[in-house]
Chain A
Amino acid sequence: MQLESLYQEIILDHYKNPHGRGLRDPFDAESFQVNPTCGDEVTLRVKLDGERVADVSYDGQGCSISQASTSVLTDLVVGRPVGEAFKKLDAFVELMQGRGKVEPDEDVLEDGIAFAGVAKYPARVKCALLGWMAFKDAVVRAEGEGRA
């Protein structure tokens, strides 16, 4: 049974009790991302406070992997400088695209290391990245608007 390596307890916990869920005001930018193969979707808002991620809020529907991964994302990035949040994003993307050969750094990814098993299931990598791509897009938009 390889399933337990995919569905770590941490993932199932986040799925059943998601952190930071629900769309909140105020926000600087919003991103809507969809996985067209399965219809999973997430709407995610970012509020920046200077160079710091002040809040991330989201709503959506999707499988346990996509929902839990977005929940973990909020834990990892809220309150951090944007640069550090993006380092975590890069580390998470690298882990997901590593086909199970990348050793995750718990200091960087914390609960995110539970997704290491997802990387062995290529069809699920998109699920795990859905919320993270929304976060990246929303921050880019927020910063763009800040400069405008």
Chain B
Amino acid sequence: MTTTVSAPLDVDALRADFPILGRTVREGKRLVYLDSGATSQRPRQVLDAEREFLEQHNSAVHRGAHQLAEEATDAYEAARARIAAFVGTDADELVFTKNATEGVNLVAYAMGNAATSGPEAARFALGPGDEIVTTEMEHHANLVPWQQLAQRTGATLRWFPVTDEGRLDLSDLDGIVNERTKLVAFTHQSNVLGTVNPPAPIVARAKAVGALTLLDACQSVPHQPVDLRALDVDFAVFSSHKMLGPYGLGVLYGRRELLAALPPFLTGGSMIETVRMEASTFAAPPQRFEAGTPMTSQAVALGAAVDYLSALGMAEVSRHEHDLTLATLAGLAEIPGIRVLGPGLDPAGAVTDRGGAVAFVVDGVHPHDVGQVLDDQGVAVRVGHHCAWPLHRRLGVPASVRASFYVYNDLADVEAFLAGVREVQRFFGVV
């Protein structure tokens, strides 16, 4: 974790770094971008880093005997080191993938390959009688791969339920995570509810029974200080494009000794040690898990993104989003006919362990229609089930509207959003 002594965010100044925030939408309206939970916007510094790499250093990494190859390799590996420092790990414990979804699948498929790999991989193998644990609030990316792994291996999938308030129900932690459990996969912060889950008790219980843990950190790493080593999880994934970086790049963290024993998932060039016609041996991690030409300029740009976030200070980023979340929850509470999914304000007007994603439904108006009327006012939100269909089913709604915040949002955005919600109700005649 890079620690920076920093002042509260100067949002007016940093908005100028994001060219897209200068455009208008829907006939001249100011863009109020409240969909950073889906994908964030990128500052000039990140766009420039990618362009500078491509204009000055572009070349294939980890091969070639020329100066550009050296520079490209240095830039790629230096970015890995900076990203690793940002989340409190060492560089050789970070694997670049196509996206976070691929990171989860990498672990799931590698575990599936363990049964036919060497003895060092035995600890990852699973079969009938073994259990995989996830939660009812997961993004599909941290649910479907485990369903599939269970199906392929005969293992059983179990999950933590969600309370009415939108918290993980850990009351049966010791029953759900037990001596049969091989892996516990859970989200750090719900992409729908904003709920921040407590890794400590889950990790402690998993360790006690010898189970592995995988943390979906896609919604936490961009928004709060995260030290993966301190959290003591075995694996974690996060996503470049949700933290000011480019598309096409996800990051998988794995504890060094685990990556060393984990069989490969995708195989081919760049990930080998020796290749003969009969068989091959594999490179040490992280290269073992980076088959083919990697996302080089994207990794360099993500390095610039973590520099940008570090300069702001992640504690300040978190505080800023918390302020916007409080203002949003307070504003929505004043509008009749709104139901916020997930943790709301307590009587003192505070809320803890809650990030800047606010999902809600408007009585009498379908979420798609809510989003459409907001869009007409320049307010960009996400509608639907946000890739968390079981969670919506649990909360008794087919879909929801989600506003999500990031560094470049301000109270004017919150006010425009709240005015937009009132306009939704007026337009559809439900008030």
Contact = CB atoms under 8 A, between A and B. Distances in A.
Interface of A: 1-3, 6-7, 12, 37-41, 61-65, 121, 124, 127
Interface residues of B, number: 18
A65 B373 contact: no
A39 B398 contact: yes
Interface in B369-411: 369, 372-373, 376, 383-385, 389, 392, 398-399
B373 A39 contact: no
B376 A37 contact: no
Interface in B279-299: none
B373 A38 contact: no
B366 A62 contact: yes
A40 B366 CA distance: 10
Given A38-B368, A38-B384, A1 B376 contact: yes
B372 A40 contact: no
B372 A39 contact: no
B367 A38 contact: yes
A12 B372 CA distance: 14
Contacts of B373: 3
Given A6-B372, A38-B399, A40-B398, A64 B384 contact: no
B207 to A, nearest CB: 37
B172 interface: no
A101 to B, nearest CB: 19
A120 to B, nearest CB: 11
Contacts of B398: 39-41, 61-62
Given A2-B27, A64-B369, 4 more contacts: A6-B372, A38-B399, A63-B369, A64-B428
A38 B27 contact: no
A38 B386 CA distance: 8
B376 A63 contact: no
B385 A63 contact: no
A64 B392 contact: no
Contacts of B372: 3, 6-7, 121, 124
A62 B398 CA distance: 8
B376 A2 contact: yes
A97 B368 CA distance: 19
Contacts of A3: 372-373, 376, 427
